């Protein structure tokens, strides 16, 4: 139940952050474009970890 309640807000904020960081890639400075790419990948990886890794670690810690 909890995951279904937070998936929409998490997805919305992640997409907004991805759009913002990917916009950095449109600039003329290569370093800023690369930074935008790395930051967007980091945000995406954080969302995936928050959805998959954190709940499983919480379940494991309850069993210990």
Q: Which domain holds residue 48?
A: 2-63
Percent of the chain scoring above 70 in pLDDT: 98
DSSP state of 39: H
3-state secondary structure the chain: CHHHHHHHHHHHHHHHHHHHHHHHHHCCCHHHHHHHHHHHHHHHHHHHHHHHHHHHHHHHHHHC
pLDDT digit string (tens) for 23-50? 998 889 999 999 999 999 999 999 999 9
* Whole-model pTM over 0.85: no
Whether 8 shows a pLDDT value over 80: the answer reads: yes
∠ CA(36), CA(42), CA(47), 5° rounding?
A: 130
Give me 51's structure tokens.
């959805």
């Amino acid at each position: 139940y909890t995951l279904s309640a937070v998936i929409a807000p998490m997805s919305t904020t992640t997409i907004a952050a991805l759009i913002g960081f990917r916009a950095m890639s449109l600039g003329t400075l290569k370093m800023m474009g690369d930074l935008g790419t790395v930051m967007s990948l980091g945000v995406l990886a954080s969302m995936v970890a928050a959805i998959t890794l954190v709940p499983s670690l919480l379940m494991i810690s309850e069993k210990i």
